[in-house]
Structure 1
Amino acid sequence: MELRADRLERQLAGEPLRPVYLVAGGEPLLVQEAADAIRARAREEGYTEREVYDAEGSFDWNTLSRGMASLSLFASRRVFDLRLPTGKPGKDGSEAIREYCENPPPDTVLLITAQDWSKAHAGKWSEAIAKAGHFLPIYPLKTHELGDWLQRRLRGRGLVATPDAVQRLADRVEGNLLAAAQEVDKLALLVGTGRGAAAQAIDEAQMEQLVADSSRFDVFKLVDAALAGDAARAVRMLAALRAEGDQVAGLMPMVAKEVLALCALARAAESGNVMSAMRDARVWDSKQAMYRRAIERHPPSRWEAFVAECGAIDRAAKGRGGGDPWLRLERLLAAIADARARGLLAS
């Protein structure tokens, strides 16, 4: 069956291991920790032998089936750890997985992990896994979910923190869960665990002193912040990219690509075909709501103006146009994020 990741540990503790598990999603830390929990449970139940397969490129799926059919000389219980980076096993892989699920070998657990997942990845093979075992889709945390995730992780390390302190930590890590996990582990070492329920909570000032700035900005998050309507965050991220040594000329291809896509979608929205246009443009399901809000924020004519401004910024960044390219890009992002800021482009 399909299982929520936050219920995995309870499920593992309450039943014998299933013959097959699929853990798939675009958040590496969450995928890794879920898979680690399954492996740990397997060791507790005597699954002492583990074979690892990387199913990418020209992987021979017969290798997997032969391995499952063979008897082990060293252990009666085995874990087959199959890495499927793209989340797409192909025709041969799908058939091999379905055959396994129909008649799983005894004393064997097949653990499949994938670093990418969406509805487009699903098929009869994943349905077979959900029927014979458990499927855990791992979705990236939304901005409003990060605080609760951090609180749970802090409590798991014996720490308590005020809501303001947790928000400060969330601001620092900017959605980078690996950095967040490292910061929580560091806090456990610096502050100490096992302080008891009466221990004083870490406040915002302490958190500011204890954590490093672990934000990891890139142009994809930069554009997403602008499309989501968060002008302040977009401007802050742009400043961080500049401080890290990025150049406007290197950022503009991605910015222009997204603006061009939104311009085309805005035109399609006028005829009421925006959802069809999104499917044709292969916009991820997780981004469609953000794209719709961005389209509703500006008419097609303004998106056309944004496209023209992208060209002007690119020329300025390459020394073939006037104006400060960093300032012009900052104003463009602010205008995309907030319709009230559109006058900045004319100044």
Structure 2
Amino acid sequence: MSGLNFSIEIVKSLENLKKNCIIVVGDEPVTKNHVDVVIQEYLKIGHFDQINITIDKTTKLESIQPLFMDGSLFNNHTYFRINILNGRISEEIKQFVASAIKTNTMDLFKLHLNSTIKDFSKTIWSKELQKTSIVLEAFEPKSAQIKEVVMTRVKFHQILLSQDSINILIGMTEGNFLLLENELKKLRLLFNSEEINIKQLLYHLSNGSRYDAFELLNACMSGDKKRVIDALACLQEEGSDALSVNGLYAWIFKAVAKFKFQNKKNPNFQDYSSMRIFGSAQTNVKRSLEAMTKSQIEGVLSRIKDIDLICKGIKYGDPWLELNRLSFGLARIHNKLKI
């Protein structure tokens, strides 16, 4: 099931299904955030304590065992939010987590795995977890799906948009799902369930802000340090979502990394389309392919991952401070490039 169809009603139905675990497979940020929002709303009803746990290939069983055994001083239930990072984790930990889910039937668990449904389904672990879990997919919608998915999000945010307005919104955000979601959130706050006509939508998209996340990205990739400073200050002042800004970097550098490690110096239209890179974003990818080494790109991906964990409260830090560092670093690298 797509994670975008996840709802409080589904969480409430878990008890009748004799399940207490939600597995999110994939790394698409809008879907992951939607699942988290729904669960947090449910937790308010059930009065759960919350424990965040991160597991990777270096994690030892003895380091996480106490987290499952402390119990709650004030509430009867605990929500375990378990993030499994890339790489193999030990069979010992897999068995322990599966057993904890099966044993602690009054608690709620969410596992996030950055994998594919196909790969996850092949594992013995997935078959063990199926008995106690539902599985949600978190993947970037394909071009043919984007309109239907946006309509689902429009309904979720209770925004009144015509079909023409939805088409314009998709076109002006170049089909970037994360940016679309960010714009829908702004529209919900600005219009508060009132019908939005095309004229109002166009005004919002063209004049709503002096800078948006795309402007910041363009400034970084063109090496314009002054514009980077202005864009970052504006985005912070306007209360922009750090997770969404970081997600834009993740989107563009996923393509940069793929092309760089495939030694594609000049990706063609089909290459760009397969990664959902359109318009000015193609120029930004090309600049990075020319300006950056493989090790620099790996460093950027690592920093993007760290910022993602900070935004979600899994890792300690200031997301805007780290976004500033990342943005200035990229601007310095691209400032040396002469196109």
TM range, normalised to the smaller chain?
0.5 to 0.7
Give the corresponding residue for 2:73.
73
Q: Counterpart of 2:161 in 1: which secondary structure? A: coil
Q: What is the CA-CA distance between 1:252 and the residue it aligns to?
A: 9.8
Q: What is the CA-CA distance between 1:53 and the residue it aligns to?
A: 1.2
Cα pair 1:87 1:115 within 8 Å, conserved: no
Q: How many residues align?
A: 245
Give the corresponding residue for 1:313.
none
Give the corresponding residue for 1:249.
290
C-alpha separation in 2, matches of 1:45 and 1:162: 37
Q: What is the CA-CA distance between 1:183 and the residue it aligns to?
A: 0.8
Question: What's the CA shift string for 1:72-92, capped at 9, x where partnerless?
Answer: 333221112211122743322
Give the corresponding residue for 2:139.
139
Give the corresponding residue for 2:171.
171
Cα pair 2:26 2:116 within 8 Å, conserved: yes
Q: What is the CA-CA distance between 1:59 and the residue it aligns to?
A: 1.6
C-alpha separation in 2, matches of 1:33 and 1:56: 24
> For residues 90-169 of structure 1, what are the structure 2 equivalents within 5 Å?
90-101=90-101, 103-122=102-121, 123-169=123-169
What amino acid is aligned across from residue 249 of structure 1 in structure 2? E
What amino acid is aligned across from residue 250 of structure 1 in structure 2? A
Q: Counterpart of 1:174 in 2: which secondary structure? A: coil
Question: What's the CA shift string for 1:278-325, capped at 9, x where partnerless?
Answer: xxxxxxxxxxxxxxxxxxxxxxxxxxxxxxxxxxxxxxxx99xxxxx9
C-alpha separation in 1, matches of 2:254 and 2:69: 45
2:180 is equivalent to residue 180 of structure 1: yes
Q: What is the CA-CA distance between 1:184 and the residue it aligns to?
A: 1.0
2:243 is equivalent to residue 209 of structure 1: no
Q: What is the CA-CA distance between 1:186 and the residue it aligns to?
A: 1.5
Give the corresponding residue for 1:30.
31
Describe the shift of the 1:174–1:84 C-alpha distance in structure 2 as closer, same or farther (beyond 3 A). Answer: farther
Cα pair 1:27 1:115 within 8 Å, conserved: no
Question: What's the CA shift string for 1:123-172, capped at 9, x where partnerless?
Answer: 12222222112121222111122222222322333322232321222233
Structure 1 range deviating more: 10-19 or 156-165? 10-19
Give the corresponding residue for 1:238.
282
Which residue among 229, 236, 252 is the counterpart of 1:218? Answer: 252
Q: What is the CA-CA distance between 1:25 and the residue it aligns to?
A: 0.8
Cα pair 1:23 1:114 within 8 Å, conserved: yes
C-alpha separation in 2, matches of 1:100 and 1:54: 15
Describe the shift of the 1:158–1:28 C-alpha distance in structure 2 as closer, same or farther (beyond 3 A). Answer: closer
> For residues 320-331 of structure 1, what are the structure 2 equivalents within 5 Å?
none
Question: What's the CA shift string for 1:193-249, capped at 9, x where partnerless?
Answer: 233xxx4x522x543321257555737548677225859x7565434557xxx3662
**Greater radius of gyration (CA):** 1
Q: Counterpart of 1:211 in 2: which secondary structure? A: helix
C-alpha separation in 2, matches of 1:185 and 1:111: 25
Describe the shift of the 1:170–1:135 C-alpha distance in structure 2 as closer, same or farther (beyond 3 A). Answer: same
Cα pair 1:87 1:117 within 8 Å, conserved: no
> For residues 258-277 of structure 1, what are the structure 2 equivalents within 5 Å?
none
2:49 is equivalent to residue 5 of structure 1: no
Give the corresponding residue for 2:221.
none
C-alpha separation in 2, matches of 1:117 and 1:87: 13
Aligned-pair identity in percent equals: 13
